[in-house]
Chains A and B, each alone.
Chain A
């Protein structure tokens, strides 16, 4: 008989810095911010006693108590609403969605309320809305969403999605300290990926919201991407290097506001661009980025801007179908070779 049991031991306070996976980096960041600022608190489903579905908030309740680590009923509308109200009263809530798919249940409050409070009344909502996103882990159509496109068209929201442990910690801290609502997307595939384990500084640091990062410098072709697709792009770049193609990979890190200068600088440098993302192609952020490039760097293009994205279907349950649905390294290689030969 297989049984699973709750771990008996208390999860210890994370170290400051040291070797950490992406999930440990986020946990460190939240922990340190809660220590630094008593108005910071966590709210969400199973974030307390259970420590969060992905253990991002593991141990927080033992350290900070039920007052600051609040378990809620299954109602995203209630979570977002409570976070907005608390923020208006001067608190800094970190609201967790167990899966980002269910952010749609809080959509009205996020888009009509959190995003517009400052504009309407000059009352800012300093809240972080975070949760696991992304596919490729056999979770089917209800637990695999990439939700950025729903919110890109809403002025007033900031959106970030890290692809490294360093950025994950720096961005969660920046998001918590930000005076405006920040959507913080965590790709669940990256949480415990050994490849992302890296040494973090012991000192306090933030990663500025709105700044992209050159993940790999190159001169022949740019792949503009973010989240787990950064790794796909880097794998493809490594393969293409053997073929003599010098590929640049831009990790956007922030999806709203987009770092236009970084995008345009890369276009002016390589003149050929692939925009790569995990969400479905139609209406995806790739279209927005391609439009910016066409509007502001037309004269620097030596080939059409190419999108590599998931196909326009729900995320399939079947593993082979999910692989087909999701951009793979091979898809990026095919697109890059074709673009290089244009």
Chain B
């Protein structure tokens, strides 16, 4: 059998050695422990004995070459008896190189044990160990690591998983607060479905929280997510034949925003029926001249907008926002108008709406609606609204209970304007049935800061203005 001879490690920091002399030639016989070659390292020069008896069959490096420790430098075709010990190393009973050296050169006689070390235990060795035993290819016996043992001891695994999902991490909570995102509503990719930093950042980058991000006030933060408030938490799985569609960014944003609003504001809706006959007459009267003069159609909306402007000035709580335990009364009136799109819904904003005349409002509304449908709105044209008007009537709806557009405090829904039979009274006090242009106006308001009486007065004032029909065109 053959034995590989390696470059021994002469001291623990030594990484390489230089072969200075081969003491045997290829083909020559060598006995076990007979010097085979000489090496030089950073620390010592040494003669290396053969680990076995046999014939030198191969010398892989020439004199003067430097090789890494444990590199095979020669091969021995051994006797049958020489099976043990593959690596060349100084034999155990001989003095080790460093010991010899240190003993001779540095320390007088033999290194005496230190007084402190005189106990039953062997004193610490002061000399460096020399060549280590040859590398043993044994994998450490696997036993549970410290960490895995800890995990097994952790019997609160379930609640830890819950906490990971709901609390995530300090960083994610901070980001969530800055952007007004509810962590519990996001799908996490981390441990136990935890929302990671990357999860929340990509959610924010996707624009999903854009509208929500406006919400700065801590009081507006949603109350703790109880199951009752979150029906979406019920797991739903598609059945065979069902079609599964990924929500668009806009859809996710609307969903987010609507649920947030429901959880933030104490919604109450009150409905008035308003006689729009005088407005209808005004429209008929000015329809053509208005179009010629302004290039835009005269609809009912500018009259409603202007009435709302006046009502907001008279009742400023409807043009306000809530921040913690404070109410912020907005200086500007920025009217949001909900525009239905084939692919969703958007609310462009008429800035400083009360500065505009009927024609100005008409132009602004038509322009925004048109550009909403052609996706040409600028970001600041959908931000900063202080009150919103929605118009389900264009589709035929009589009235609805609109959801407040956060962080605003009220929203007005205009139902279908149609001819209805109405009981009227003459100046003499006689009742008669007349045909009138009528519409239901539904006002949803936030009962946290607006009481029912305020809402009644607000809507009654709008009714008064619209029914009087006194608008300069």
Contact = CB atoms under 8 A, between A and B. Distances in A.
Q: Bound pair: A and B? A: yes
B111 to A, nearest CB: 6
Contacts, number: 147
Contacts of A54: 11, 13, 43
A137 B14 CA distance: 10
B100 interface: yes
B105 A6 contact: yes
Interface in B99-129: 100-102, 104-107, 111-112, 114, 116, 124-126, 128-129
A38 interface: no
Nearest to A47: B106
Contacts of B125: 140, 142-143
Contacts of B105: 6, 46, 49-50
B48 interface: yes
Given A3-B47, A271-B197, A105 B169 contact: no
B15 A194 contact: yes
B165 to A, nearest CB: 12
A46 B43 contact: no
Given A301-B170, A323-B140, A5 B45 contact: yes
A142 B45 CA distance: 26
Nearest to B123: A142
Contacts of B43: 54-55
B139 A320 contact: yes
A1 B106 CA distance: 23
Given A3-B47, A46-B102, A271 B171 contact: yes
A291 interface: no
Contacts of A189: 12-13
A170 B100 CA distance: 34
A74 B127 CA distance: 12
Interface in A315-342: 319-321, 323-324, 335, 341-342
Contacts of A75: 114
The winner among B33, B116, B147 for most chain A CB atoms within 10 A is B147
B16 A341 contact: no
A23 B128 contact: no
20 contacts: A2-B90, A4-B46, A4-B96, A4-B98, A6-B101, A49-B106, A50-B101, A53-B102, A54-B11, A54-B43, A101-B124, A102-B124, A138-B133, A143-B128, A191-B13, A192-B14, A192-B16, A194-B68, A271-B197, A299-B173
Interface of B: 10-16, 33, 35, 40, 42-49, 68, 90-91, 94, 96-98, 100-102, 104-107, 111-112, 114, 116, 124-126, 128-129, 132-133, 135-136, 138-140, 146-147, 169-174, 190-191, 194, 196-197
Q: Which 6 A-B pairs have the closest CB atoms?
A: A4-B97, A324-B140, A137-B12, A142-B124, A191-B13, A46-B106
Given A3-B97, A132-B13, A192-B14, 16 more contacts: A2-B46, A2-B94, A4-B98, A49-B105, A50-B105, A55-B42, A75-B114, A142-B125, A188-B12, A192-B42, A194-B68, A271-B169, A300-B171, A302-B171, A320-B138, A342-B196
Interface of A: 1-7, 23, 45-46, 48-50, 53-55, 71, 74-75, 98-99, 101-102, 105, 132, 137-140, 142-143, 188-189, 191-194, 271, 281, 298-303, 311, 319-321, 323-324, 335, 341-342
